[in-house]
Amino acid sequence: MKVITALFVVLGSVLFGPAVADSEHKTPTASPKFLEMSNPYDVDDVDEFLKSAKKIYKKKCKKCHGKQGDGKGSSADDMEIKPTAFNEPGYLESRKDGQLFWITMEGSEGTDMEGFGPGTDVNLSEEELWKVITYIRSSFTK
Ligand code: HEC
């Protein structure tokens, strides 16, 4: 009898585990080493920096995160785990630059958020990653 009960528990978690995991999905948190990072690049000309950052955002991020950073890009419709809405009040204040940098570099496992950092298909340099994060923060903070 005990064996059968155990079997049901195992079977139950196999059948229902993933569904539960999805509805409780949480973006992983970066390690302390990343959390304390901030943009290490000198920004002499903010306008120029943000202009080239906007280009990266438009090309690589907009289709999911949306033009307004609302997570409603053209590819977002049929995603189970939706792209983060950066313009949600308080959202960007709750996230450190190092967290945004880490996820953009590494991606968020089990979601459509792939890694964009050095060595990935898109292969953004660390400077480009910092640019796009600076752009996101300066354009979508609410
Ligand atoms: C194919 C769709 C897609 C593209 C393209 C995309 N993202 Fe995402 N992004 C997602 C999804 C889905 C999530 C939610 C991940 C989660 O819930 O763990 C996300 C989450 C994030 C987060 C949230 C991290 C956190 O800790 O809250 C950041 C930052 C981010 N993306 C940055 C970017 C940047 C920068 C680009 C462009 C270089 C980009 N994304 C392109 C789908 C995408």
Q: Is the pLDDT of residue 64 over 90?
A: yes
The stretches of the chain forming alpha helices (DSSP H) are 2-23, 32-35, 46-60, 62-65, 91-94, 97-106, 126-140
| Ligand 1 mutation pick, 31, 60, 81, 113, max ligand atoms within 8 A of CB | 113
DSSP class of 70:
S
CA 123–ligand 1 middle distance (angstroms):
15
Task: Kindly state if the Cβ of 134 falls inside 6 Å of ligand 1.
Answer: no
Task: Kindly state if the Cβ of 86 falls inside 6 Å of ligand 1.
Answer: no
Q: Using a CB cutoff of 8 Å and minimum separation of 24, what contacts does 114-117 make?
A: 116/60
For a pLDDT cut of 70, what percent of the chain falls above it? 84
**For the chain, domain boundaries:** 27-140
Cα(93)–Cα(20) distance, rounded to whole angstroms? 28
Task: Kindly state if the Cβ of 129 falls inside 6 Å of ligand 1.
Answer: no
Note the CATH architecture for domain 27-140. Orthogonal Bundle (1.10)
Tokens matching residue 38:
């901030």
Instruction: Express each pLDDT in 91-138 by its tens digit.
Output: 999 999 999 999 999 999 999 999 999 999 999 999 999 999 999 999
CA 112–ligand 1 middle distance (angstroms):
8
Task: Kindly state if the Cβ of 64 falls inside 6 Å of ligand 1.
Answer: yes
Q: Is the pLDDT of residue 5 over 80?
A: no
Q: What is the number of other CB atoms lying within 10 angstroms of the CB of residue 140?
A: 19
